[in-house]
Structure 1
Amino acid sequence: MKKIRVLVVDDAAFIRDLVKKTVRSKFPHFLVEEAINGRKAQSLLEKQRYDLVLCDWEMPELSGLELLQWMRNERSLDTPFIMVTSRGDRDNVVAAVQSGVSEYIGKPFSSDALLKKIIKVLSRRHSASDLRGSSRPDTPGGSAEVLTGGSATHAASVSVLTQSRPAPSPPPSPAATEASSSVAALTGAATTPAPAPKGAGKSGARGSSAQLRFPDMTVDCVVQALSLKEVKAVIRRGERIPQLLSQAVVDLEQGEEREVARINGYISKLEAAEQKMDSALIAISIRFVDDDPQKMEYLSKMIAMGTGKQYF
C-alpha cells in the first residue's frame, strides 16, 4: 500500500488545522504536513515529493498562484493542486486554470465538499485501496464509486464562491476562451443571496451593508462594529441559522474601484438581536483568523475612513 503524502499551505493556523482535521477524518493513514506560506511550501517541495497540495491563494511572501506557477513552470511538478481560497472571482478561476490548477474550492467550505474534491483528484492517480488505507484488492464497480460518491463533478460555481453583484463583463480574451472548458469543470449553477436585513445599504462603519459567506449559505448583513480582530453584524433570520464556530468569510468592499477584501474567520457569537423568542434578526460576531498584513492594512484603512466608505 502506497503512503499518500499531503501538503497543506495557508497563512491562517485556524484554516490549516481545519483542513488537516478534515483530511485525517476520512484518511487517517495519510501523511499530512503543513506550511505557513508559499515560500515555506517551496522549501518543502524541493526536499520532498507530495501526492497532493491543498493551498490558499492570498498569503504573505508568496501567493498560492505564484506557488502553483513555480511548481508547474520552474520545477515541472505535476503534483495535484487544489486551490482552497476565498478569492473566487471568475478572472481568478481562469488564472488558476491557465496556471495548471487541478481543482478549486471556495472558503468557507464544508468538510464533505473538500473531501469530494480530494477524492476526485487523487482517484485519477491512486487506487481505491490506497485511498482506503487497505491492502485489499479493489472490487469491480464498488470501491471507486463509494470513494467518489458516484459523481464526476463536484465543483462550485464562481457565482456561489463570490456571490458578487452582477456587472457587465468585457469580451473574453483568447486565453480565457481557450481555458473556458476547464473553467466550466470548476463552475456550475449560481444561487441567489438571501435578502438583506432592514437598514442594509447605508454608508458608514456602523449600519453599513456587507456580505457573510458560510459553508452552506450566503447572507447580507448590517455591520454594527468592525475592528482588526472581528466584525459584529446583524443578519435576517432564515430557514437555516449559521452554527457557532462555523467557518465564515466576510466580504468588504471599499473605494471607487470596488476593491474587495475577503476576510476569513469563524462564528464566535450568536444571539437574538431582539428581546423575543421569535426574533427576526440575529446578532453575529465573526472572529478573524487571517494573518495577512495586506488584509490587516486594508481593514485599518477601512476603520480609519469610518463613515466615508460603504461595505459590500
Structure 2
Amino acid sequence: MSKVSVLVVDDATFIRDLVKKGLRDHFPGVQIVEAVNGRKAQQLLGRQGIDLILCDWEMPEMSGLELLSWCREQDNLKTVPFIMVTSRGDKDNVVQAIQAGVSDFIGKPFSNEQLVTKVKKALQRAGKLQALMASAPPKMLSSGAYANDSLSALTAGKAEVLKPSAAPAPVVKAAAAFAAQPAAAKTAPASGRGQGQLRLPGGTMACVIKALSLKEALLVVKRTELLPQVLESAVLDLEQGEAAEIARLNGYLHAVVAFEPKPDSEWLQLTFRFVDSDPQKLDYISRLIARGTAQKHFSPGA
C-alpha cells in the first residue's frame, strides 16, 4: 500500500519543522514533503501525487490563496484536501478562501492537538485515514495511539470539489468559528502605541513592545496562569496607523525571563523571534522601527 503524502508549504523553516514534528509524532506512517513558497509547491505538485496540502497564506512569490486557486483548476488536484494554516482570520479573508475552494483552516499559533484533529478530519473525508493507519508501525497500533478512534471516524468518505457558489456546510461552520477568533482577542486591553497582542496556542496576552528589530521583538507581559514556553510558536498582532491596521507577525518565543529581579516577578520579558521571510512584512517592521513605535522605557507600575 502506498504511503499517504502530505505537502507542507510555508516560507518559515520553524513553522515547517513544527508541523512536520507534529505529524510524525502522531502519524508515523506519513510521508512529508515541503516547499518554501507557493511557486515551489506548484512545481512539486506537477511532479508527484499528494494526498493533503497544509499551506501558509502569506508567502513570497506565490501566496497560499493563489496556490489554492491554481490547485482547484487542475483536474488531479480538485479534490485534494487543502488546509490553510494562517493568522488571517478576518471575515473577508475567510470568504476569499472559501470561494477559492479551501477545505479547512488552522489558525496560527496552533497546538499539536489542533493540528492532528484537522489532519485526521481532512484525511477521513478524503478516504485516506485508513491507509495512513495501515502504514503505521504495528507497535504504534498496539500502543493505543489510535485506540480512541471510533468506527465512524474510519469510514472512508469521498472528497468533494469545493465551488465558490456552494461551500460544504462543515467548511462554512469551521470558517465561521475561525473568523470569530480575532474578536475574542478584543476583550484584552486595547492596543496602543508600543503595545500589541501576543497569541499563543493556549490563549492571548496583552503585551508592551519594549524593543523592536528586523529579527525580533522584546516584549513585556503581565504574569498570568498562561505561562509562555520557550520555543512555543506564537503570533504578534500590532495595531498601527489611523485606520487601525493589524499586522500579524509569525514567530516563536526564544527566551522567557522575569522582568523584575525577584522570583515572584509580576512581569515577564519575552524575546519573540520572527520567522516570516515575506518582504512585505519585513518592510512593515522596518517602517515601524523608523516611526519609533517601540517604547524606549517601560514601567510595570505605569
TM class, shorter-length: 0.7 to 0.9
Question: Which among 132, 135, 148 is matched to residue 133 of structure 1?
Answer: 135
Deviations 1:92-141 (A, max 9, x none): 111111111111011110011001000000012125353352599xxxxx
> SS at 1:242's partner residue?
coil
Q: Deviation of residue 2 (structure 1)?
A: 3.4
Unaligned segments of structure 1, at least 5 residues: 137-141, 152-174
Q: Deviation of residue 90 (structure 1)?
A: 1.8
Q: 1:228 to 1:179 in 2, by over 3 A?
A: same
How many residue pairs match? The answer is 276
Q: 1:298 to 1:27 in 2, by over 3 A?
A: same
1:27/1:132 contact within 8 Å kept? no
Q: Which amino acid aligns with 1:254?
A: Q
Map 1:283-302; keep pairs closer than 5 Å: 283-302=269-288
> SS at 2:230's partner residue?
coil
Instruction: Tell me if 1:183 matches 2:148.
Output: no
Q: Deviation of residue 29 (structure 1)?
A: 1.6
Q: Which amino acid aligns with 2:148?
A: V
Deviations 1:66-102 (A, max 9, x none): 0000010255622111111111112111111111111
Structure-2 residue corresponding to 1:303: 289
Structure-2 residue corresponding to 1:34: 34
Distance 2:73 2:48 in 1: 18
Q: Which amino acid aligns with 1:279?
A: S
Instruction: Tell me if 1:217 matches 2:197.
Output: no
Q: Which amino acid aligns with 1:130?
A: L
Q: Which amino acid aligns with 2:265?
A: S
Q: Deviation of residue 145 (structure 1)?
A: 7.7
Distance 1:71 1:81 in 2: 9
Distance 1:176 1:75 in 2: 17
Q: 1:144 to 1:93 in 2, by over 3 A?
A: farther
Q: 1:223 to 1:63 in 2, by over 3 A?
A: same
Deviations 1:10-63 (A, max 9, x none): 001111111111111111221110001000101011111100001000000100
Aligned Cα RMSD in Å?
A: 3.1
2:30/2:132 contact within 8 Å kept? no
2:8/2:54 contact within 8 Å kept? yes
Deviates more, 1:5-14 or 1:277-286: 277-286
TM-score, structure 2 as length reference: 0.82
TM-score, structure 1 as length reference: 0.79
Unaligned segments of structure 2, at least 5 residues: 139-143, 154-162, 296-302
Q: Which amino acid aligns with 2:62?
A: L
Identical-residue share of aligned pairs (%): 50
Question: Which among 191, 216, 227 is matched to residue 213 of structure 2?
Answer: 227
Q: Deviation of residue 274 (structure 1)?
A: 1.8
> SS at 2:73's partner residue?
helix
Distance 2:28 2:82 in 1: 20
